[in-house]
Structure 1
């Protein structure tokens, strides 16, 4: 009897996993003409040379450096803990797999073989913005001008996602860790695992906002400021909070900016 019970559980889990994989496969097949290149898992192993060079690791899995047969460098994200319904994977492929913008990371291809999933992106030489924006680090190599250019680039990318596509794409996870920098320090928005898709009709915007808050998809401003992870704070509110409390903020190395630059930056943050 116990053996029969264990066998039943096993079959139920197999059925659940099969339906999940079938749903993902069905989506990919029905949108095949719009999808980027599909790689086999053996291709993924070859391009990463057996997952030799790890670039980073997180709750989603690990990222490895790879090289295509053309010699093009790529970053391969191997998902180890995808969402139960595979929605994070579908979000990633459905968004950046279809759109092309200078400030959105380019998805070269993907892999899905049953439980094995991977995403292949253009390799970003300068990594994520996260390592450049922490104020306590004194070896910050970004000038005030570069920081402004990066901020403008991110804003352009967000505007494109909100207004430039056939559907409205809301990222829901904009933070320095998810802003990648190429060899020219051009910012690229990445990681669309939490993205939501909506109609671009204006009549839906207010209802959309209320739905997001009600379902926990958008945090109140106070929560954003109080976020414990310094790298994921929404910086405009963080800066405003500092000025409100009378705290000074260093805008750069003293040797790199003059009084006019410093005053200009302070006026911007107070607006």
Structure 2
């Protein structure tokens, strides 16, 4: 009886084990089938994208190819909120910047929209997308390599990057003009208006001749050209460059004028916000636009830590400041379009009118907290 009972228990155990194994295999094959279906949909979406753009579509790379071109991510160029950027080399020996995005479980629609939108652009002041990687949760964007890095590196990190030379005023002017032309193209030159929403020095790259190129479209928004105001669920951008209406809707609706605000704050940075001596113990307590506005109508000795020795340099400085102050007006309707900004940059200084004040210093101080 004992032997028979042990055999019964052993048999039941075997039946249970086989049942568990069958259930596991069914679930495994079902999960694999769902993954394959998802991969097929993903591949179909990418193939449709490539077919739609034909020869204009950027090349798709595998993650293994990304690792190879970056030498296993050996040379890191920078770190951002959306991922890391590495220096790489294509098989034809062209240098590239590979932006490896943080892993995401989303279906990739936003990523492919970004790839699509950037692929539609073609302008000397917009970074060129050469390829992309979309392999499950692994995603990367491959851009042309900019030898001089970002504009932010010249504004803030001279010592860190051993950049002892400061950019000449004429170079700063050309950079400001190039960025304005790039933004004008995004706002007016594309079939569908592209709003960047994250214009700042670190998103402006400089080539070997210091020509600027707008990069990092991670926060971009598409908008019909006929529409002047768009809707958005949450605030976007970087503190210090964000337009007031992105934080508080009482300042008006979101539009391409929001990029104008970021542009204005960035140009003020170029003029010398980080090198300013305003005569106080802590410069963070001073709202720079208000300070420079008060001193603009006095003399050009604005204590910007730069020596202005020629009349042309003084004119450039004053012109950059005036157009910046127009761009950061709290009411978006008072800000110029990028087309107007270009006109102001190319106009005579005497024809420019100093904008009204004051500025939204209280909002600025709130954003710093």
TM-score range (shorter-chain normalised) is 0.7 to 0.9
**1:82-161 maps to which residues of 2 (within 5 A)?**
82=104, 84=106, 86=108, 89-134=111-156, 139-161=164-186
Contact 2:173 2:316 in 1 (8 A): no
Higher helix share: 2
- Per the alignment, do residues 235 and 44 of structure 1 end up closer, same or farther by CA in structure 2, a change over 3 Å counting? closer
The higher-RCO structure (CA 8 Å, 6+ apart) is 1
Larger Rg: 2
- C-alpha contact (below 8 Å) 1:154/1:187 kept by paired residues: yes
Taking a change above 3 Å as real, the CA distance of residues 79 and 135 of structure 1, as seen in their structure-2 partners, is closer
Please state how far the C-alpha of 1:190 moved relative to its aligned partner: 0.4
2:235 counterpart residue number: 216
Shift of 1:257: 3.4
**Residues 36 and 98 in structure 1, CA contact (< 8 A), matched pair in contact too:** no
Tell me: CA distance 1:220–1:173, structure 2 relative to 1, closer, same or farther (3 Å). Answer: closer
Q: TM-score, normalising length from structure 2?
A: 0.58
Q: What SS does the corresponding residue of 1:31 show, helix, strand or coil?
A: helix
Deviation, 1:223, is: 8.0
Is the Cα–Cα contact under 8 Å of residues 170 and 316 in structure 2 kept in the other structure?
Answer: no
Distance of aligned partners of 1:30 and 1:126 in 2 relative to their CA distance in 1, 3 Å threshold: same
Give ranges in structure 1 of 5+ residues lacking alignment.
1-6, 8-12, 225-230
Alignment match, 1:162: 187
Q: Does 1:234 pair with 2:287? A: no
How far off its partner does 1:261 sit?
A: 2.2
Mapped partners of 2:158, 2:75: distance in 1: 29
Provide the C-alpha distance between the structure 2 equivalents of 1:61 and 1:103, rounded to a whole number of angstroms. Answer: 23
Q: 1:15 to 1:148 in 2, by over 3 A?
A: farther
2:258 is equivalent to residue 205 of structure 1? no
**Count of aligned pairs between the two proteins:** 251
TM-score normalized with structure 1 length: 0.76
Which has the larger strand fraction?
Answer: 1
Cα gap change, 1:220 to 1:73, in 2 (>3 Å): closer
State the alpha-carbon separation in 1 of the partners of residues 96 and 157 from structure 2: 30
Equivalent residue for 2:49? Answer: 31
Number of the residue aligned with 2:343: none
Mapped partners of 1:121, 1:84: distance in 2: 23
Change (3 A) 1:22 1:171: farther
1:253 corresponds in structure 2 to 306
CA distance 1:76–1:267, shift in 2 (3 Å) = closer
Q: Which runs of 4+ in 1 moved over 6 A?
A: 13-23, 135-138
Change (3 A) 1:185 1:264: closer
Name the stretch that deviates more: 20-29 or 59-68.
Answer: 20-29
C-alpha distance in 1 between matches for 2:72 and 2:123: 31
Per-residue deviation at 1:42?
1.4
